[in-house]
Amino acid sequence: MRVGKWGRGLFVFFFAGTAAAAEVPLADFARHAQFRSVKISPDGDYLAANSVIKGKAVLSLMRVSDLKGVNLSASEDSEVSDFWWVAPHQVMYTTGEQSVRREAPYPTGELYVVDADGDHHKLLYGGQRGMGYVVGELISVLPDDPKHALISRVRYGSRESYDTQAEAHRIDLGNGHTELLAKAPLRNAEFLADNEGNVRVSWGVGTDWKQKVYYRADAAAEWKLVFDRNRDKQPVLPRRFDRDGKNVYVECDGANGVGGICRWDLATHQLNTLWSGRESGPMQLVPTTDRKDVFAVTWMPGRAALDVLDKKAPEAKMLIDLYGSFQGERVSLGASTRDGRKRIVFVDGDVNPGEFYLYDSESKQLSRLLSAMPWINPDAMAPMEPIQLAARDGLRLHGYLTRPPGKSEAKHLPLVVLVHGGPYFVRDEWGFDPDVQVLASRGYAVLQVNFRGSEGYGAAFANAGVGEWGGKMQDDVTDATRWAIKEGITDADRICIYGISYGGYAALEGAVKEPDLYRCAIGSAGVYDLNAFAERSDVQESKQGRAYLSEVLGEDKNDLAARSPITHLDKLKAKVMLIVGGADRRVPPDQGRRLHEALDERKIEHEWFYRRTEGHGFYNEKFRTEMYERMLAFLDRNIGAGARVGKAKDAP
């Protein structure tokens, strides 16, 4: 196991200041955040952090008093994926591994433990202990039992197989021995334990791709199906138990249909609405210091917002004051000491990748600890402006417009329409986005829209996107583009559309469906042949995945072909750039290759950027920098300073 020592100097950064006109190097946007997560030990003596050292994610352990300590990982090829304080001076972490075939680490499921000073570092649980391919994840720590923790275990036939049943275990943090507590009532399920460590709730998606929530009163009881989306209109997503264990806080539709928080009464199985979103649903439930209840909810109607549920909670005033101190930013309460005196506070926003602070509730002092990306100067970044518009059928759409730094009121800018992936269970958010900032830093306005089907606006809005690949979801993107032209933000001949995964599909589908609207299209890891995608991807390797594809795409091969960009290349007028990773299992590289070959056959000029070891989205910092360079050169030729554009025209 790798252990390296370091001192305070490694983590202290001084931003020297850059002239406003200086161009931020593309490599700065391509770099992984140096600190992804920071947590304080229960006794307040140590910090643990998931940090990136020489391009590898490691576990950093440091004393609070002087920020000195050690960096460690399981092996040369592994990276630390997540970590938790499981005892006052003991950390558990899980890993992912890189290989010669794949840049991005692949989860391996092993669980390691190490003392806060770096000693007694060992593999506690997982395949390398002769268990086969077993994936372990933490369910919850046991504050009153520092020698044990609750984990879920999933045993796969191989690293490439799915459809397996999860189990909940109590694990001995000293020797790795486990005790079976529960078997999930359905495959690929999750567990929720109450504050006493009793596993009483399990939920997941059935083979029919409908979410199901189960409950049992105690370990001796059978699982009972309580909520089933096949029969229940109300969506229910369990989040955490309340203090006395009689209720579970769940995400629900709320009174306004855009998302809310309900209390699930475990005796009657009734749902009682606690909080309802106004324009969008909940983002996070904020737990009390002892993590046995909740007192607030965060949400994102445009920018980050906070609603306090329990104004009498001692944490409420603290969080309200912190939001007041960091106006225009998002404040997240992190791990605290067991006595509640000290806790981590994370502050981030659209121009700020994030900073970690240590808050002392006795002295009321807030001390800055670490920056997620200390080389980024927030003053040189571009603010995101929340927008709203009406789709052609009247549906209200939310999104974001980012203009170049210093040009917040500028008009007639070259525009990149950036379409998010998913397309379901995902949304564009207000926050720091390297892709957006790269484009804005080079003079492009960036338009993002949460089309129907996006997460965060209630079940009806999400369900409105089912079956709408190439249909109403695409029309929403088109309507947002035309809105930008009408508002004078851009000109009709200076627009490119770009996206990753589903966004790559939408980019090329937009180019063939609206051939006069986009001057260029960039597809990254995109789906271009829906029939091929339905047959060959890691999604269809599980029963749930096959049911999902059947529901959201349909099964009519002629219809799928009609909604595939590769079918309509005769309509294409836009210049095209394709970005493909050879190790992509979600959208196999054949999707990009076949489109590349089809364009070649038709002698349609296009850009091709391929890296054999990249997966679903580029991970390697060098390759990401090269990708940005190629994209910007492509944009410059087509809609930027190097483009030959005609006189501005009205939207087609």
Assigned token pair, 139: 């369910």
Q: Looking at the predicted structure, is the pLDDT value of residue 645 above 70?
A: no
Q: Looking at the predicted structure, is the pLDDT value of residue 496 above 50?
A: yes
Write the CA distances from 429 to 75, 218, 319, 456, 647, integer angstroms. 35, 39, 21, 10, 34
Strand locations in 277-337 (E): 282-287, 294-299, 305-308, 330-336
Mean pLDDT in residue range 608-632: 94
Spans of all domains in the chain = 233-306, 382-638
Q: Are strands 190-193 and 35-40 parallel, antiparallel or unpaired?
A: unpaired
Query: What are the tens digits of pLDDT across the range 402-422?
Result: 999 999 899 999 999 999 999
Candidates 322, 344, 288; CA nearest to 46 is 344
- Strand order through the sheet with 148-156: 133-141, 148-156, 165-172, 178-187
Residue 22's pLDDT is: 77
| 3-state SS, residue 344 | strand
Mean pLDDT in residue range 584-600: 94
Q: How far apart are CA 507 and CA 489, in angstroms?
A: 20
Q: Are strands 46-53 and 56-63 parallel, antiparallel or unpaired?
A: antiparallel
Q: How does residue 11 score in pLDDT terms, banded at 50, 70 and 90?
A: very low
Candidates 277, 290, 280, 207; CA nearest to 241 is 290
Assigned token pair, 503: 């966004």
Q: What angle do CA 390, 392, 398 make, to 5 degrees?
A: 30
493 contacts: CB under 8 Å, gap ≥ 6: 519, 639, 645, 646, 648, 649
Residue 363's pLDDT is: 93
Highest average pLDDT, of 199-213, 434-448, 634-648, comes from: 434-448
Residue 10's pLDDT is: 30
| 3-state SS, residue 440 | helix
Q: Looking at the predicted structure, is the pLDDT value of residue 4 above 70?
A: no
Q: Looking at the predicted structure, is the pLDDT value of residue 114 above 50?
A: yes
Mean pLDDT is lowest, of 302-306, 396-400, 538-542, 611-615, for 538-542
Written as one letter, the residue type at 647 is K
Mean pLDDT is lowest, of 11-25, 129-143, 364-378, for 11-25
Mean pLDDT in residue range 208-226: 95
User: Among 3.30.2130.10, 1.10.10.10, 3.40.50.1820, 2.60.40.3500, what is the CATH number of 382-638?
Assistant: 3.40.50.1820
Q: How does residue 156 score in pLDDT terms, banded at 50, 70 and 90?
A: low
Residue 5's pLDDT is: 40
Mean pLDDT is lowest, of 88-92, 159-163, 331-335, 468-472, for 159-163
HEC profile of 545-566:
HHHHHHHHHCCCHHHHHHCCHH
Residue 109's pLDDT is: 82
DSSP state of 463: H
Query: What are the tens digits of pLDDT across the range 324-334?
Result: 999 999 999 99
Q: Looking at the predicted structure, is the pLDDT value of residue 208 above 90?
A: no
Residue 242's pLDDT is: 97
Query: What are the tens digits of pLDDT across the range 363-376?
Result: 999 999 999 999 99
Mean pLDDT in residue range 281-291: 94
Residue 1's pLDDT is: 44
Residue 555's pLDDT is: 93
Residue 643's pLDDT is: 79
Q: How does residue 444 score in pLDDT terms, banded at 50, 70 and 90?
A: very high
